[in-house]
Structure 1
């Protein structure tokens, strides 16, 4: 498991999200071309293809593409500058005060924000989680970079998701998420808080590394992320470049589809059976209600138990299911470290017994 081995310090992560086989190609640098830190400006952020956006001061009016980007800004302490979002978080998705603050953010679109509404929002920054992925419904309505510029809106991405499919190799650690947080901290002038969040994530993952230090790679259990909401007719494999591959790897498991190129890829049920995973995560997307989520998890488990191709799998017969929401696993944020913990504690309960 290579316990304690990190890609480098947060400053290095800020320069490139791919620092250790990680998540994307978006980079950020601070004043004078050095790494961002504190309130130092100008800050330059490059997109997936290397085009740079320069910030001479923190943005004042931000629109986020979805709940993931919104949550990051709320945790950084920049939530009061968010004037609108798409794909808003469901009720109860975010804990406590975080959810209350998120609920006050105007919803510009229940899915992808319509182009006219986004361009007319008055924002000076649009934080985009997934448009560059080209896989979200309605993403074709996204404004061009020329239209963003004409409206006075700077456009930056969360590299660990938006740039993932363009990365040179798989995501094996959380450096991509750390890079996103560090860059956003630099851009919004909340770098100290970003460093706190990254440190908290690292501490949680380091504890997992310590507990699993003597588990060799060959003894890691096979792990299948079942994207239930992507449909059951043809399963969607979670590949090595998806951020969830890093979550699974850091938790001491082996993603059975880590070797497929890209972030997601349609496969067959025969492929899943051939992989014969030891554990299956029921990847259900948040319904915004605990009872609805529980029902969806039950439906996903019921499908695997009754579908002829999968009902004989040992993981299915032995109820080796993890009921962990898709967003916590496949989208960036501080909760990716929580998901690493939860998976590790489930797969290796005796190693964490003393910590409970």
Structure 2
């Protein structure tokens, strides 16, 4: 039987992303014993490619999955295979996951507060590692992750979220990201790999329905009439702002929401900026992007603090958006990290900056 090939598209760049490496090797499991999960039959073998085009073939759906961070964990929870996830790195903070997924997500063992240590990953008993980041130094310890030969020896298949792992590769598109096609394709790839293709299509269709409604509502607004927009990453610090550039997934979210990212022309995902740069752009709207603090009260205070800074800081208090109170209170996670909820971010931004055309941004 000829393997079914699922081609990923490197179309968006997300937080912590760098170049990705090559695909993993064979099946089986090594390390600690893990109770096998029930997995669906059919639809296999499946072949997926990495950022360089190297293919990995999976003979059957995985039963024991480790994720590199909360982004890939959330996608697997959305696909309904959370019972097969036996560990994660960069675990989701309290309040980060959608309420419907939070309880199950909290039960996933944390293998590393940052990246999963190499020895722990190889000895986890996993048969699949879903990598959001791609090949890069493991954060926090300076060591590198397992080689593809080591993954193969441990019986761990290694697949990537191409929309977030391929930004630095030669084949990565250099143009600004203006849609969520790469993220939708990653959802389909994970659906194929885990045997949940039907659920993946449901998720993608839901995203397309929400985004399509916004697109239709804004069809009559010409590009040059769409408001300019700056993402203020409050948690990155106030001394030097960070520019969210054209290759970041947030640029696609902003574009689909009918706004114009003021830093869309910088050819990167993130780039250190200056307040002089922001003042020169004088955006129509500013997103107060903060991380979820784990409670509504604490998160609301973080938004209040971000707004208070912009209103009191001499360099920003005269900006058009600040003077007019044009602030969008929307979390960093749903804006800058690839996932199903990017579609909700599109709708919320659009309903805020185009209130006469788009209703119900929640």
TM-score bin, normalised by smaller chain = 0.7 to 0.9
TM-score (norm 2): 0.86
For the residues of structure 1 that align with 2:332 and 2:361, how far apart are their CA atoms? Answer: 26
Specify whether residues 116 and 247 from structure 1 end up closer, same or farther in structure 2 by C-alpha distance, changes over 3 A only.
same
Asked if structure 1 preserves the Cα contact closer than 8 Å seen for 2:49 and 2:55, the reply is yes
For the residues of structure 1 that align with 2:154 and 2:76, how far apart are their CA atoms? Answer: 22
Specify whether residues 141 and 302 from structure 1 end up closer, same or farther in structure 2 by C-alpha distance, changes over 3 A only.
farther
For the residues of structure 1 that align with 2:145 and 2:229, how far apart are their CA atoms? Answer: 35
TM-score (norm 1): 0.87
- The structure with the greater share of residues assigned to helix is 1
For the residues of structure 2 that align with 1:308 and 1:355, how far apart are their CA atoms? Answer: 32
Residue of structure 1 equivalent to 2:265: 259
Instruction: Say which SS state the counterpart of residue 352 (structure 1) adopts.
Output: coil
For the residues of structure 2 that align with 1:354 and 1:325, how far apart are their CA atoms? Answer: 17
Instruction: Say which SS state the counterpart of residue 89 (structure 1) adopts.
Output: coil
Residue of structure 1 equivalent to 2:154: 151
1:47 paired to 2:36: no
Equivalent residue for 2:132, pick from 115, 129, 132 = 129
Residue of structure 1 equivalent to 2:333: 327
Residue of structure 2 equivalent to 1:71: 74
1:101 paired to 2:113: no
Cα deviation digits, residues 30-75 of structure 1 (max 9, x gap): xxxxxxxx94222111112222211111111100111111111111
Cα deviation digits, residues 199-236 of structure 1 (max 9, x gap): 00000001001110100000010011111222222111
1:58 paired to 2:50: no
Residue of structure 1 equivalent to 2:298: 292
Residue of structure 1 equivalent to 2:9: 17
Specify whether residues 156 and 275 from structure 1 end up closer, same or farther in structure 2 by C-alpha distance, changes over 3 A only.
same
Q: Which runs of 5+ in 2 are unaligned?
A: 14-18, 24-40
Cα deviation digits, residues 251-303 of structure 1 (max 9, x gap): 00001101101111111111111111111111112222222212221221122
Residue of structure 1 equivalent to 2:320: 314
For the residues of structure 2 that align with 1:280 and 1:65, how far apart are their CA atoms? Answer: 31
For the residues of structure 2 that align with 1:293 and 1:66, how far apart are their CA atoms? Answer: 22
How many residue pairs get matched? 333
Asked if structure 1 preserves the Cα contact closer than 8 Å seen for 2:334 and 2:345, the reply is yes
- Please provide the CA RMSD for this pair: 2.5
For the residues of structure 1 that align with 2:84 and 2:360, how far apart are their CA atoms? Answer: 43
Specify whether residues 354 and 333 from structure 1 end up closer, same or farther in structure 2 by C-alpha distance, changes over 3 A only.
closer
Asked if structure 2 preserves the Cα contact closer than 8 Å seen for 1:165 and 1:263, the reply is no
For the residues of structure 2 that align with 1:233 and 1:108, how far apart are their CA atoms? Answer: 33
Asked if structure 1 preserves the Cα contact closer than 8 Å seen for 2:88 and 2:109, the reply is yes
Asked if structure 2 preserves the Cα contact closer than 8 Å seen for 1:112 and 1:139, the reply is no
For the residues of structure 2 that align with 1:230 and 1:138, how far apart are their CA atoms? Answer: 21
Q: Report runs of 4+ in structure 1 exceeding 6 Å deviation.
A: 24-28
For the residues of structure 2 that align with 1:17 and 1:228, how far apart are their CA atoms? Answer: 31
For the residues of structure 2 that align with 1:139 and 1:129, how far apart are their CA atoms? Answer: 18
Asked if structure 2 preserves the Cα contact closer than 8 Å seen for 1:133 and 1:161, the reply is no
Residue of structure 1 equivalent to 2:358: 352
Q: Which runs of 5+ in 1 are unaligned?
A: 1-10, 29-37
Specify whether residues 204 and 274 from structure 1 end up closer, same or farther in structure 2 by C-alpha distance, changes over 3 A only.
same
Residue of structure 2 equivalent to 1:338: 344
1:81 paired to 2:84: yes
Instruction: Say which SS state the counterpart of residue 164 (structure 1) adopts.
Output: coil
For the residues of structure 1 that align with 2:168 and 2:351, how far apart are their CA atoms? Answer: 29
Residue of structure 2 equivalent to 1:8: none
1:161 paired to 2:172: no
Equivalent residue for 1:185, pick from 171, 187, 191 = 191
Residue of structure 1 equivalent to 2:37: none
Specify whether residues 285 and 355 from structure 1 end up closer, same or farther in structure 2 by C-alpha distance, changes over 3 A only.
closer
